Structure 1
């Protein structure tokens, strides 16, 4: 086993949804388990997961992750049906499900997946309760990020 795989299996990040911070105000983060098949776990160990444009829906009292992609390995068996974008079940407690569903239905929040990571030998999905940003909010965030970057540059290299 290579050193890279050892680090991943002990708690490394598999995939991040960087777009979520740009498009949403993140209010609260929750850790959820995710129901995967064997080939999906192998693909995630190889770093083949992607969370861009993924979100959570509630159906029949359960939470489901939509829009995530896990590309099958070339060595995957041919007798498995490997759908890279299938809907995956999120494993949450009833209390968490109720609270999230209530926030989505009554308060206008949305639930987005922000990260996939290893916790011991299990794959966990970090989901966040978020509100959408307007265009002017995105511009303000960008200006603030640029200003902070410029401040760091000036502070680290003082003028002669």
Structure 2
């Protein structure tokens, strides 16, 4: 596991680029060169994660989904898990994406589908509470500088995963 920017080796529980190869790792998508090029970085790696003291590896995100804020990597899943832990009764679904920002590079933004209980709460207070939870628990480059957006639903792919590029485009237009 190495730092995505510097290539330096990282220690246990530090999230970075997982570099591994074996015979079962796919090299490309069949007859889909564009998707293959988007999946892997220029050296052929595609996963972000960490390892523990026992040498077990944990994949937390695809590299292409990482957000680069203040020249630091932000793992969307880390913010999503925190928001669900802190506001689980209010959130039905959440996805964090990076929005273009002149000074920060990308600004993390949360798209939130509210539960019935969440819809009964004051939206501005709830958004501020969500931002505050992130600010209290995570490093400054992981704060929700892009904002909290309440949406009716999250765009999905054919495999029912959140379509992050489509989501980011819709938030930019919002």
Q: Which structure: larger Rg?
A: 1
Higher strand share: 1
Higher helix share: 1
TM range (shorter): under 0.3
TM-score (norm 1): 0.25
RCO higher in structure (CA 8 A, sep ≥6): 1
